[in-house]
Structure 1
Amino acid sequence: MKLICNTALFLLILVAVRAQSDVITLDNNGKKIPVRIIKPEGYASNKVYPVLIGPGLDNGNLNVGCRYFGSNPGQHGWILVESSIHMENRKAVALLLDHLELNYRTGKVYILGFSANSVDAFTIASIYNNRIHGIIGMPGNPSSPNINSHKGQQILMIVGERDTYWKNRAEQAKVKLDEKGYQNELVIIPKGGHILDELTGKPLFAILNRKLSK
């Protein structure tokens, strides 16, 4: 009897966790792109939530999420999006944004990129400047040709102290952004390297909630 109760409790918890996520498929001119939308704990359809679009689901694999969302992504109070959208035709981004706006009460929308895919995150944000409020690059920074495309957006660059190449690039980008009067922050993680595993989950969102609430 105890085993049956424990099993039922496990299934109930599993269903509750799964209920926090919606998995959809975008049709981009015949190409199917899976997307997982993770809703925060206690999600209410009449409440507005900030949105963070991250990478993930590499090659359409639902088991490969965004490492920086952590093991319990529903606890951060954000609508979190995992997909390969960074690597797709840029028109697919409009499909995703349309879906989010139609089905959720979205607040400010941010896009996250780390290392190489931060280039795509900044590019996407420059194309959809009127729909994406800000960019988080960890590490990452806007390239000079596109820097004018980020007017009005919030830019948050996060880099490890030991990640010399990216740290130097971010510091140079900050100088240019400051000269233009663009809203930007540079966070240098003491003793941090290139892959900032120490910012997985809660530590990352503590920074986001502090820096992006301005």
Structure 2
Amino acid sequence: MKNLKKILYVLFSWLVTVGAFAQERVLELQVGKDKMLVRITVPENYSTSQHYPILLGPGLDNDSLENGCRYFGLNPETHGWILVESLVHMKDRKAVLVLLDYLEANYPVKSIFALGFSANSIDAFQIATQYSDKLAGVISMPGNPNLKDTSSLKKLSNQNVLMIVGEKDTYWKKKAEKAKEIMDKHKIRNKLVVVPNAGHILDEMAGPPLFDLLEEMINTESSGFSITN
């Protein structure tokens, strides 16, 4: 009977562990004297023997789990990516390194990308340039890098840049077109996607439409992301 209890306990513990990986994980990371709330969603059928692309997205505004990243969609576990929501974009940049170190220590990482939309696209590009040795690319919806800072811009040369902008968002569309022209000149792998009839907030791209583009991006990394529109 004792052996049976032990076997049942081990089996139960294993099931709990497997179940935990199939769900989202919420934790607080210590960043100096502060703590940062992070939610990590792993794909369906997650396995530690397989390496996954990771997407760092904004979310959890006011440290609320209800305020997730809108662009991850309704079923984020179906995209095949490890998805990270936090306010790391708004923290001191040392928080980014804390988060990256945690991910690399606890998950089978294939590549890491930063996602920014609207104003935090600026932060996503800053993160991508500051940690260019750790990130594989940046996605902005809309937004573009600081084109006046050539030294920072060149740090994107080993990454992939995906800019998505609404056709009706004329100000940002023009800036993105200019950014593409300059990045092409510097041989930075990039792609500009203009969403027909869309405005500034690109809800049209939430979920599968975004991740279809991301899959194209990671599947063409070795040959270079398209530098033609």
Distance in 2 between residues matched to 1:183 and 1:55, nearest whole Å: 23
- Give matches, 1:131-142, under 5 Å: 131-142=134-145
Looking at CA atoms only, which structure, 1 or 2, has the larger radius of gyration?
A: 2
**Structure 1 residue 19, shift from structure 2 partner:** 4.3
Superposed CA deviations along residues 68-124 of structure 1, whole A, max 9, x for unmatched, are 001110000000000000000100000100010000001110000001000000001
1:121 is matched with: 124
- Give matches, 1:9-158, under 5 Å: 19-144=22-147, 145=149, 146-158=152-164
**Structure 1 residue 212, shift from structure 2 partner:** 3.1
Residues 17 and 168 of structure 1: CA distance in aligned 2, closer, same or farther (over 3 Å) = farther
Distance in 1 between residues matched to 2:190 and 2:106, nearest whole Å: 30
Distance in 2 between residues matched to 1:21 and 1:96, nearest whole Å: 16
Q: Which amino acid aligns with 1:23?
A: V
Distance in 2 between residues matched to 1:202 and 1:17, nearest whole Å: 24
**Structure 1 residue 17, shift from structure 2 partner:** 8.7
**Structure 1 residue 52, shift from structure 2 partner:** 0.3
Q: 1:179 aligns with which of 174, 185, 193?
A: 185
1:212 is matched with: 218
Q: Which amino acid aligns with 2:206?
A: T
Q: 1:202 aligns with which of 203, 208, 214?
A: 208
**Structure 1 residue 143, shift from structure 2 partner:** 1.0
Distance in 1 between residues matched to 2:218 and 2:46, nearest whole Å: 21
**TM-score of the superposed pair, with normalisation by structure 2:** 0.84
1:192 is matched with: 198
Q: Percent identity?
A: 51
Distance in 1 between residues matched to 2:100 and 2:217, nearest whole Å: 23
Distance in 2 between residues matched to 1:107 and 1:29, nearest whole Å: 28
Whether 1:159 and 2:156 are equivalent positions in the alignment is: no
Residues 207 and 78 of structure 1: CA distance in aligned 2, closer, same or farther (over 3 Å) = same
**Structure 1 residue 164, shift from structure 2 partner:** 0.3
Moved more, 143-152 or 187-196: 143-152
**Structure 1 residue 149, shift from structure 2 partner:** 2.5
How many aligned positions are there?
A: 200
Superposed CA deviations along residues 179-198 of structure 1, whole A, max 9, x for unmatched, are 01110100111111111101
Q: Which amino acid aligns with 2:158?
A: G
Distance in 2 between residues matched to 1:117 and 1:77, nearest whole Å: 24
Residues 24 and 84 of structure 1: CA distance in aligned 2, closer, same or farther (over 3 Å) = same
Residues 72 and 158 of structure 1: CA distance in aligned 2, closer, same or farther (over 3 Å) = same
| Contact 2:166–2:199, Cα closer than 8 Å, also in 1 | yes
Distance in 2 between residues matched to 1:192 and 1:106, nearest whole Å: 33
> Any unmatched runs of 5+ in structure 2?
1-18, 221-229
Q: Which amino acid aligns with 1:156?
A: L
* Partner-residue secondary structure (3-state), 2:219: coil
